[in-house]
């Protein structure tokens, strides 16, 4: 990386540390593909890689004040990505043995413990509902059954008389529409919090 690029990145990170969401959005768009690629290579799962991507950048935002002390951001970010991927793989292995994994990282709830946070959450929910309203009828049905009713993919397939692969495709397309809509209507940090809850 050139000296100029390092300087530009340092300026961005200092701005993120100060709470600048525009700078955070730039960092997110700069590194999202690389983080996703690493996560996918380690887990070989599109949904898990997407979840890791959201987790990693949520962690960057939540720990933004520490960024001024990070000397090699790229290496630091990829280490977080690798560690999160390994953690997810351990969770997936544990779930296969029916061991419950407590989720101690409920960031949205932490952010809505006060009236301003609850008002903000209502705004987020409204944007989410607007995103869902843009789905095709079939995507809406699949999203409703799996994300709102808690159906497994096979159960949703039986309910809708579709193949599990078709259900998987509809859900993936629905989540892509929702992600794109939320990211364009909310700041990246707010969108990540909302999207993380959906996974």
pLDDT digits (tens, 9 = 90+) for 98-155: 444 444 344 444 444 444 555 566 777 788 888 889 999 999 999 989 888 888 889 9
pLDDT at 15: 93
Report the CATH number that the domain containing residue 123 is assigned in CATH: 1.10.10.10
Q: Is the domain of 41 the same as that of 112?
A: no
**Full residue range of the structural domain in which residue 182 is found:** 107-199
Query: Among 40, 64, 98, which residue terminates a domain?
Result: 98
Query: Among 71, 98, 125, which residue terminates a domain?
Result: 98
Count up the domains in the chain and report the number.
2
Dist. CA 72–CA 120, nearest whole Å: 34
Dist. CA 71–CA 28, nearest whole Å: 18
Look-up of token digits 């001024």: 68
Give the mean pLDDT of the chain.
80
Dist. CA 78–CA 83, nearest whole Å: 9
Q: Is the domain of 38 the same as that of 124?
A: no
Whole-prediction pTM: 0.60
Q: Is the domain of 4 the same as that of 25?
A: yes
Q: Considering only CA atoms, which of 145, 138, 128 is closest in space to residue 198?
A: 128
| Residues 108, 26, 45: CA angle, nearest 5 degrees | 60
Q: Is the domain of 41 the same as that of 88?
A: yes
């Amino acid at each position: 990386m050139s000296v100029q690029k390092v300087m530009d990145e340092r300026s961005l990170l200092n701005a993120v540390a100060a709470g600048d969401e525009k700078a955070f959005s730039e960092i997110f768009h700069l590194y999202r593909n690389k983080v996703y690629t690493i996560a996918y290579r380690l887990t070989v799962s599109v949904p898990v890689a997407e979840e890791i991507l959201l987790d990693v950048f949520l962690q960057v935002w939540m720990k933004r004040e520490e960024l001024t002390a990070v000397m090699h951001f790229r290496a630091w970010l990829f280490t977080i990505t690798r560690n999160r991927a390994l953690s997810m793989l351990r969770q997936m292995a544990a779930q296969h043995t029916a061991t419950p994994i407590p989720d101690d990282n409920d960031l949205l709830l932490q952010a809505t413990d006060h009236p301003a946070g609850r008002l903000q959450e209502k705004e987020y929910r409204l944007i989410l509902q607007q995103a869902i309203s843009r789905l095709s009828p079939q995507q809406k049905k699949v999203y409703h059954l799996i994300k709102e009713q808690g159906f497994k993919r096979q159960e949703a397939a039986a309910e809708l008389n579709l193949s599990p692969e078709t259900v998987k495709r509809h859900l993936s397309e629905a989540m892509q529409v929702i992600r794109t809509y939320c990211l364009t209507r909310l700041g990246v940090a707010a969108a990540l919090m909302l999207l993380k809850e959906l996974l």
